[in-house]
Amino acid sequence: MSGNPFSLAGKTALVTGATGYFGQSIAQSLMEAGAEVYLNGRNAAAVEALVATFQERKMAARPAIFDILSEEETANFFDVLGSAPLDILVNNAYAGATGAIEVADAQNYRDSYEITVVVAHRLLRGALENLRVAKHVNGDASVINIASMYGVVSPDLRVYQGKPDANGSFYGAAKAALIQWTRYGACEFGPEGIRFNVLTPGAFPSPAAQGRYPQLIAQLEKKVPLGRIGVAHEIGGVVAFLSSPAASYVNGATIAVDGGWTAW
């Protein structure tokens, strides 16, 4: 391997949920490593404002304004992309409610599975030829899925005020499915040189959540061997690594980014 194995120069990425807490960090880390990044979101004003912010900093941000829940809008994006290479696909977007099993309803499960697994499948199918072109042109292609430690372990209900406020049972079930889907992708497309990996982040409450729920944050920190919650850039850095030639033999991995929570 010659040159900087961590460089993403000449590579192109698509990040879903790019205007969110994780999404902004992931996009920034990829661009700082040299990639051009399509920032996806359905709120045009938010996406365009974020693109402008990054471009003012001389970063290669591009808008990708479409609703990932819409088959038509997703197909339209890839039609416009045409046969251009797409080296990196990051399935990061999520939106959903809270609630333990007793207070959840069937629609919570349908919605969570749709935005987590069905959307990942839809985007992969839309991007597959572009990923294949990227592998041919640049020698590597990578799909990175953002799951959760709650796809691996169950939340401790004692840290929440009550079952309605607990991390959603449907969320953990969907993220567990995403982890397994990642393994399927790694085995199916590994022979083509398209790598699939998944992150299982731990406690990463946004700054707004930290301000609203200081007692919850304190309880969460007690459960982390490092003694603190995560910061968004600690997700972005791992995604950039997995996207790079330095990770060219990392395929089918489930990487915990949880400060040691699941190591207890």
Whole-number pLDDT of residue 134: 98
| Strands laid side by side in the 36-41 sheet | 61-65, 36-41, 12-15, 88-91, 141-146, 194-201, 254-257
* Residue 174: count of CB within 10 angstroms of its CB: 27
| Annotated catalytic residue within 94, 160, 171, 249 | 171
> What span, in angstroms and rounded, lies between the C-alpha atoms of 249 and 130?
21
User: Is 171 one of the annotated active-site residues of the chain?
Assistant: yes
Phi, psi of 227 (to 5 degrees): 80, 20
What average pLDDT does range 94-117 have in this prediction?
A: 96
12-255: CATH class? alpha beta
> What span, in angstroms and rounded, lies between the C-alpha atoms of 150 and 220?
13
pLDDT tops 90 at residue 159: no
Residues 12/84, Cβ–Cβ less than 8 Å: yes
pTM above 0.85, yes or no: yes
User: Average pLDDT over the chain, rounded to whole?
Assistant: 96
pLDDT tops 70 at residue 114: yes
Residues 38/63, Cβ–Cβ less than 8 Å: yes
pLDDT digits (tens, 9 = 90+) for 203-241: 999 999 899 989 989 999 999 999 999 999 999 999 999
Residues 197/252, Cβ–Cβ less than 8 Å: yes
pLDDT digits (tens, 9 = 90+) for 134-155: 999 999 999 999 999 999 999 9
Whole-number pLDDT of residue 67: 98
pLDDT tops 80 at residue 11: yes
Nearest to 87 by CA among 193, 12, 144, 32: 12
pLDDT digits (tens, 9 = 90+) for 42-90: 999 999 999 999 999 999 999 999 999 999 999 999 999 999 999 999 9
Burial class of residue 253, CB neighbours in 10 A (0-12, 13-18, 19+): middle
What average pLDDT does range 174-201 have in this prediction?
A: 98
Whole-number pLDDT of residue 65: 98
Nearest to 64 by CA among 55, 147, 50: 50
Confidence of residue 2 (pLDDT cuts 50, 70, 90): low
